[in-house]
């Protein structure tokens, strides 16, 4: 059985006098035990989608099921099965670390001891501060406590809304490594992120932009669908290089990517040698051109260009 089924979900908001469509006919399924990523920038609809799935928001149309239960009809059952960590810190600031955890365990009719093995690895990192009020914790510790509270009733589906936003590269890596380990516990995980590079940590991802799914697949498969040769180009004078590449008629698209520019030519036949020769002719020094595989960010931008609403 699929752990999550989303069918043709539409969600609209009334802002001032105009209507904003947050989710435009979104459908997908997540298998049991899968680590599924929803990747998209702010405003793409990630939070609306998760709030529909967590029974906190009614969709205008469409249906969704968690473990076979309908998010509207069976909301009471679903709330017992779900672990949810919202994007905004939502624990009790005036309760201590320990009190928050006990509180959430009690609500779900369980105890910290009963499911301690599940949270042990994370909880041990904040245990030295268990008497501290949650409001006084640092961002990273709050996040760990929130995750413990979301896990304390051993949910079958865990929904994490942007757990790594604003978190540094090292802590983000550690967080994802931790999620990989939860998979072994047979917990289905839906996680959203605005960081494109995190897509590669998921089993499958949905790329979301303006309430629409641009692509949904294993990250490697999405990247394989990038249909043109992609070139990474570098030279001594990067600023001039960008201008020259953008003015060159043979170039289809060109954008910065770390220390390189990623370039797609209009004709796939135009190869690295031709690019190299052209730029050397134009007087650029230390020109380096190499063919590379597209990553999720390349794919996302290519899909953004082809999908119009």
Partner 1 sequence: MINEKVIIAESLTKNFGDFVAVDQISFEVAKGEIFGFLGANGAGKTTAMRMLCGLSTPSSGKANVAGFDLFKETEKIKKSIGYMSQKFSLYEDLTIRENIQFYGGIYGLSKKNIQEKSAYLVEHLHLQNYQNNLVKSLPLGWKQKLAFSVAIVHDPAIVFLDEPTGGVDPVTRREFWELIYDASARGITVFVTTHYMDEAEYCNRVSIMVDGRIEALDTPKELKKIYESVSMGEVFLKLARKAVRGE
Site of interaction with partner 1 (CB under 8 A): 15-16, 18, 40-44, 138-141, 165-173, 194-196, 209, 239, 255-259, 297, 300-301, 304
The nearest distance, CB 307 to partner 1, in angstroms, is 12
Distance CA 178, CA 181 (A): 5
Give the residue with the Cβ less far from partner 1, 185 or 256.
256
Distance CA 220, CA 141 (A): 33
Residues 6+ away with beta carbon under 8 Å from 77? 69
Give the residue with the Cβ less far from partner 1, 157 or 296.
296
Give the residue with the Cβ less far from partner 1, 109 or 138.
138
Give the residue with the Cβ less far from partner 1, 33 or 140.
140
Distance CA 177, CA 154 (A): 19
Neighbours of 127 (CB within 10 A): 11
Distance CA 281, CA 275 (A): 10
Give the residue with the Cβ less far from partner 1, 88 or 184.
88
Specify whether the CB–CB gap between 281 and 250 falls below 8 A.
no
The nearest distance, CB 168 to partner 1, in angstroms, is 4
Residues 6+ away with beta carbon under 8 Å from 236? 284, 285, 286
Distance CA 51, CA 196 (A): 22
What are φ and ψ of residue 205, in 5° steps? Answer: -135, 155
The nearest distance, CB 257 to partner 1, in angstroms, is 6
Give the residue with the Cβ less far from partner 1, 112 or 232.
232
Please tell me whether residue 107 adopts helix, strand or coil conformation: helix
The nearest distance, CB 186 to partner 1, in angstroms, is 30
Specify whether the CB–CB gap between 135 and 30 falls below 8 A.
no
Closest CA to 173 of 150, 200, 152, 147: 200
Residues 6+ away with beta carbon under 8 Å from 22? 11, 12, 13, 45, 48, 211
The nearest distance, CB 31 to partner 1, in angstroms, is 28
């Amino acid at each position: 059985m699929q752990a999550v089924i989303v069918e043709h979900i539409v969600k609209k908001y009334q802002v001032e006098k105009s209507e904003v469509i947050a989710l435009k006919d979104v459908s997908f399924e997540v298998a049991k035990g899968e680590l599924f990523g929803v990747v998209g920038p702010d405003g793409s609809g990630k939070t609306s989608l998760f709030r529909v799935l967590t029974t906190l928001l009614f969709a205008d149309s469409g249906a969704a099921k968690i473990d076979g239960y309908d998010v509207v009809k069976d909301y009471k059952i679903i709330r017992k099965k779900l672990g949810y960590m919202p994007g905004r810190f939502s624990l009790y600031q005036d309760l201590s670390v320990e009190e928050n955890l006990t509180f959430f365990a009690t609500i779900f009719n369980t105890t910290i001891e009963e499911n301690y093995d599940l949270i042990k690895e994370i909880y041990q990192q904040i245990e030295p501060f268990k008497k501290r009020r949650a409001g006084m914790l640092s961002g990273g510790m709050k996040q760990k406590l929130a995750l413990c509270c979301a896990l304390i009733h051993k949910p079958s589906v865990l929904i994490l809304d942007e757990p790594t936003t604003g978190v540094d590269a090292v802590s983000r890596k550690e967080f994802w490594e931790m999620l990989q380990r939860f998979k072994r516990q047979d917990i289905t995980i839906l996680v959203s992120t605005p960081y494109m590079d995190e897509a590669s940590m998921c089993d499958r991802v949905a790329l979301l932009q303006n309430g629409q799914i641009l692509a949904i697949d294993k990250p490697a498969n999405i990247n394989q669908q990038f249909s043109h040769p992609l070139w990474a180009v570098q030279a001594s004078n990067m600023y001039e290089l960008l201008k020259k590449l953008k003015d060159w008629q043979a170039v289809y698209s060109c954008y910065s990517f770390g220390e390189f520019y990623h370039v797609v030519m209009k004709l796939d036949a135009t190869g690295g040698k031709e690019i190299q020769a052209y730029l050397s002719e134009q007087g650029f020094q230390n020109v380096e051109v190499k063919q590379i595989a597209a990553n999720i960010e390349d794919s996302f931008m290519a899909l953004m260009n082809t999908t119009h609403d």
